[in-house]
A and B are shown apart, each in its own frame.
Chain A
Amino acid sequence: MMELARRLPIPQRRLPASPVLLLLAAACIFLVIGSLRSALFAELTVKGVATGAVYGSLALALVLIYRATEVINFAQGEMAMATVYIAYQLMLWGLSYWSAFFLTLAIAFIFGVVTQQMFIRPVQEKSVIAVVIVTVGLFILIDGLVSWKWGADQKFMQAPFGNRNYHLGSVTIARQDVGTIAITFVTVLLLWAFFRFTKLGLGMRAGALRPAAARLVGVRTNALLAIGWGLAAVLGAVAGLMTEPAEYVLQPTLMQPVLLYAFAAAVLGGLESPGGALVGGIALGIFLNLVGQYWSFVGSVLQLPVAFATLLIILLIKPTGLFGHRTVRKV
């Protein structure tokens, strides 16, 4: 037996998360069967994927910053909300939706970089708590500035995908939901490719993992941290711009519930895991949608408590979140 054990190959990447994968596979099968049997179930599932993708991308923004800076950016939602107002303003000035969309993403990037350099960098070395408090301060500051500039009343924006629906048999799918899913997935895919294939992305990963060693090979960790904040802000902007049409109105509180769900999604996926954040977001979106419909006592009022109760149970079973893992490290 010992001999055999010695000859077995060492797992090369992570310790297998197979129970989690099995659970996800089971959930997928459940969703497919349910969707085939009931049109309502299918519609709720698709809608859930769309809202979940938005939670997931904001959660991904949180994870990006958490990995690099080891703090939760409490202002992430408000930064996203502010960028939606920028898009709103650009459209008021006569830009078309999509040119405003892409220009907003560019502005969001700069916004993130400047925020990091101006507010986070000075306290970065002090303590984690200091950075957290600064992000809370940013939350209030951005909220106040937006309310002062644009007012706290409801604004209306052009819907990017119109109000049309697609019909697949008896299932009706909103174009808005398909568009949201497509946009978030393309964004996440681009981001993944950036981290996976580019030198800058590699440097950012190295800087997040081992800042001291990264600086020794010449990685400018400070500049890359700012870029990380910029990318997180872009993700947040995408989440915000996709939230607005789902809510129909724009007001300064737009992203506050979304931020709560994004927290839940990030923790559910394991704060360290980008893929986990996305899966966590989508799982949460579907779960809330289905539970809200089929468990009559939950309705729409109890959605948030139910979400957090479920999260608590999952974390009791697996404290590192679904995809949190310990890496193999020999010394």
Chain B
Amino acid sequence: MTALLEMRDVHARYGPVNALHGVSLTVEEGAIVAVLGANGAGKTTTLRAISNTVQRDGELRFAGKALRGGPETVARLGVAHVPEGRGTFAELTVAENLRLGAYTRRGNLKDDFARVGSYFPWLDDRRHQQAGTLSGGEQQMLALARAFMQRPRLLLLDEPSLGLAPLLVTEVFRIVKELNENEGVTVLVVEQNAHIALQLAQTAYVLEVGRVALSGPSAELQQHESVRRSYLGY
């Protein structure tokens, strides 16, 4: 396996406030990687550094090339970023949200709509509904569907479990796994719910105040004393 995304000593800041103090991480092609950590540890900022929506420096490479340009350029390289709050266009319809997902692509989307329908059958009936009227869980599914329409190589997910009932969380992660296995999408997921994230991911990084505190295969981290105490609660 080769590295799809490499971050080396990446710093990021919001105005005068430093949020990342030299984060390095690697995402192998085809893998699912989780980034864990408490509130304010820099998880969201890590994703923002990748899509370049925060002031950053350090080395970032995507598919062997230096990652440059604004978020629209990063999206065009094949990075789908589902941001905090899911990035739903609440005022637009479900179908329009999906079409926006495919904004970077050319050609006919009929096939894509059909495939999205196979993962999210209920979306079809809701196509003309305003996206803001969907429930939280449905909006999270819509965000995944929108990202899928982009046919990304790398999917960045920011706290997909946030605000969802446990059953829905399981459902969301099941679909993420399917997209990874069936479509070959590499996934970098940021989560507070360490339990489910470690089940999904092969590799995980634990952030603490803007630094990587721990990293390794999920199975190892699950056994790790401090991870268990801080994030898994046993």
A residues sitting closer than 8 Å to B (CB atoms) are 10-13, 199, 202-203, 205-206, 209-210, 212-221, 327-331
Contact = CB atoms under 8 A, between A and B. Distances in A.
Contact of A213 (B76, B87, B128): B87
Interface of B: 51, 53, 70-72, 75-76, 80-81, 83, 85, 87-92, 96, 99-101, 103-104, 128-130, 132-136, 139, 146, 150, 163
Given A12-B129, A327-B130, A330-B132, A218 B104 contact: yes
Nearest to A327: B91
Given A205-B92, A206-B100, A327-B91, A216 B133 contact: no
Contacts of B96: 202, 205-206
Contact of A217 (B91, B100, B134): B100
A202 B130 contact: no
B130 A215 contact: no
B130 A328 contact: yes
Q: Which 9 A-B pairs have the closest CB atoms?
A: A218-B75, A218-B104, A213-B87, A329-B132, A215-B71, A329-B90, A216-B81, A215-B72, A218-B103
B54 to A, nearest CB: 11
A287 to B, nearest CB: 30
Nearest to A272: B91
Given A216-B71, A217-B75, 10 more contacts: A12-B128, A12-B129, A209-B92, A213-B87, A216-B51, A216-B75, A216-B81, A218-B75, A327-B132, A330-B135
A212 B128 CA distance: 24
Contacts of A330: 132-136, 139
B53 to A, nearest CB: 7
A84 to B, nearest CB: 35
13 contacts: A12-B133, A202-B92, A203-B103, A209-B92, A210-B89, A214-B100, A216-B75, A218-B72, A218-B150, A220-B72, A327-B91, A328-B90, A330-B132
B83 A216 contact: yes
A212 B72 contact: no
A215 B133 contact: no
Contacts of B146: 217
A202 B100 contact: yes
A328 B89 CA distance: 12
Contact of B103 (A212, A217, A331): A217
Contact of B76 (A202, A214, A218): A218
B87 A210 contact: yes
A111 B99 CA distance: 30
Contacts of B81: 216
